[in-house]
Amino acid sequence: MVVSLFEMVLRMSFIGSIIIIVVLIARAMLFKAPKIFSYLLWSVVLFKLLCPISFFNNISVLNFINITDKIVEKNTTIQQSIQNTTDIQDNIQQIQSESDSIQDNRHIKNIKISEIRNNNDITIFLLAIVWLIGIIFILLHNIKLMLQLRHHLLAVVPINSQVFLTDYITSPFVCGVFNPKIYLPSSLSSSEQKYIILHEQIHIKRKDYLVKLLAFITLSIHWFNPFVWLAFHLFEKDMEMSCDEAVIKKTDIATRAEYSTLLLKLASGKKTFIKPFAAFGENETKSRIKHIVNYKKPTIIITIAAIIIIITTFIFTIGNSPQRNLPNNSINNVKNTEKPKPSKSPYWWREAGLNDNYTQTMDCAFIRKMTDNTFIVDPLEYIEKEDTKRIKELGLDIENDFLDGYYFHNPDKTTTTWKIDENTEYIFLDWGQDFTNDENVIEIYGYMATYTKDKELFRRYLATYKNSKPKMPFFFTVENSVVKKIVERFFA
């Protein structure tokens, strides 16, 4: 579960990094435009980094830079490593094709591939654990800061129901989610309070405190990505500057110097505490003062140009590029390695009794252990979207429970034992073609598969999934507690 989630976050973070670069370019083009436009640009970054689901867009920037293949490669590191090793070993095998030791070489190759798969599984698992620890650390650190801040804010003087004065702080900030409050240093005069309260009220009116919280969650998830830290910093800067512009518009030109002096005063105050991410206040004082002093009302041309840049950026970044010419599963998307041709008819699987609905007529189960003469399995119920009656009986949700088109119903972990004999048939999806030769390869539903009655061959294949999480079920034909046929099916 953690590994799958980590791989999904890696994919989102990789796409998000490209989008951040595009936004930085668009942001640079908006240097003369109001900062509200730059602030809006970061919404597409938040969307890409938080939402794993997106619609296809033929003119997406991801399409132009051919990023889809790179994403698939990152999501299938294990399979590619296996395939690369297979390529090397196959070349060695071709050179030594006239040698009497071909069978021994194949056995060595299978062992090496199994070792690579296991090593990659362990590496990804450890990286996923480090990622999870990082998230926990960031969250706990900020919870600690929030608790400390809450303790020091117990003694405050209310100006009204929303604004409070306190001696503990030297810089104002907004804190709260459902009922945000404004906290001001007690050292501010009444005229100074007026500007700061106006600034913070604009933040609250625009719901910036919620956007900031969402950005913090994004940063916590993608903490390992330096592009996300850069985006978070610039997002805060644009948010504050756009709020400064809103204050300036509500006051006259003469107040700019007074407002700038106030920002400088607040920035020069001694910092008495470190604000958690959930509470935000003033930062980037130097650049903000410079922006306030040089601010000019944008012309119509600049405004129109900014709107065009915003719309164009959204169009080119909000969607994903279609995965053209890609097979239905990423595991099969390896380098153009020629597959062995099936020695039997392409429809052999039908002759073997595997009709189009074979999953509905076979028993589904997780393999817990394979001995010399038995399978110890955990039976489960395999349910597809079409089984509306069973879906209704179990109270399942089509949208949430059938994300990949199927659902495993396994209310308990009770195991059962099925026997194996010399006639048991094994059909499995040998993705790297590590156990396949011209004599036992078949094609099933467009995928290359291995057919054998050699239980030791299947046992070696099963061992390669020793560290696979989650382990996927197999389909069985069982008669009188004896397994007649075991079939592996591709699951998305």
pLDDT tens string 285-314: 777 877 777 777 888 998 899 899 989 888
- 448 vs 211: which has the higher pLDDT: 211
Q: For residues 392 and 394, what is the distance between their CA atoms, to the nearest angstrom? A: 5
User: Are 109 and 32 found together in one domain?
Assistant: yes
Q: Cα(first)–Cα(last) distance of the chain, in Å?
A: 15
Residue 322 domain flag: no
Point out the least confidently predicted range of 86-90, 98-102, 207-211, 260-264.
Answer: 98-102
Do 418 and 270 sit in the same domain of this protein? no
Clarify whether residues 372 and 278 are in a common domain: no
Burial of 273 (0-12, 13-18, 19+ CB in 10 A): middle
Residue 310 CB coordination number (10 Å): 20
The tokens describing 167, both together, are 């001696």
Highest-pLDDT range among 99-103, 187-191, 203-207, 333-337? 203-207
User: In 3D, which of 402, 315, 361 has the Cα closest to residue 487?
Assistant: 361
Count of domains forming the chain:
2
Residues 260 and 356 in one domain: no
Q: Does the predicted TM-score (pTM) go above 0.85?
A: no
Q: Give the least confident one: 52-66, 214-228, 405-419.
A: 52-66
Whether residue 281 sits in one domain with residue 232 = yes
What are the structure tokens assigned to 234, written together?
Answer: 């610039």
Q: What is the pLDDT, as a whole number, of residue 185?
A: 84
Of 13-27, 101-115, 373-387, the range with the lowest mean pLDDT is: 101-115
User: What mean pLDDT value characterizes the chain?
Assistant: 75
From 299, 317, 335, give the residue that closes a domain.
Answer: 317
What pLDDT was estimated at residue 330? 35
Answer yes or no: are the C-beta atoms of 212 and 239 closer than 8 Å: yes
Q: Mean of the pLDDT values across residues 178-196?
A: 83
For residue 137, pLDDT over 90 is answered with yes
CA distance 404 to 363: 20
Domain that holds residue 196: 2-317
The pLDDT value given to residue 55? 60
Q: For 397-424, what is the mean pLDDT?
A: 86
**Structure-block tokens of residue 362:** 């076979």
User: Which residue shows structure tokens 């020069």?
Assistant: 268
* Average pLDDT over every residue of 404-423: 87
pLDDT for position 118: 56
The yes-or-no verdict on residue 444 having pLDDT over 80 is: no
Percentage of the chain surpassing pLDDT 70?
A: 68
Widest distance between CA atoms in the chain: 95
| 160 and 265 fall within a common domain | yes
Considering the domain architecture, whether residues 359 and 254 belong to the same structural domain is answered as no
Distance, CA of 154 to chain centre? 40
